[in-house]
Structure 1
């Protein structure tokens, strides 16, 4: 059985941004938040296993890391 999460007092503009992000992906707000919270939990788990963020990658988003990996593979 899943966990129920309730968020109170979320800023209205944050709620609007989340609804827009969900709609742009063709998801309900609940489905979008479930997906994002699962991704966040996986990131937290990875950080905990590594002992915290990797300093060399601080501030770099996932898309940039993927691009760096692809560029490295092309050079091989």
Structure 2
């Protein structure tokens, strides 16, 4: 399997932490040297390991924001 390269361009914030110390974080990440995208996934404390996640373009983040804002919570 080919090595996946990533660079965290901006750390936006953490939304939760597991009992094992992993954080669910929203970051802007460049994957394999490509255009940075928004990324939501679990990370080990020093970003040495990561869980499965979700990567979104700016337009997708805006659509998600609009959907979340329409919720009656």
Superposition TM-score, scaled by structure 1 size: 0.28
Higher helix share: 1
Higher strand share: 2
RCO higher in structure (CA 8 A, sep ≥6): 2
Superposition TM-score, scaled by structure 2 size: 0.29
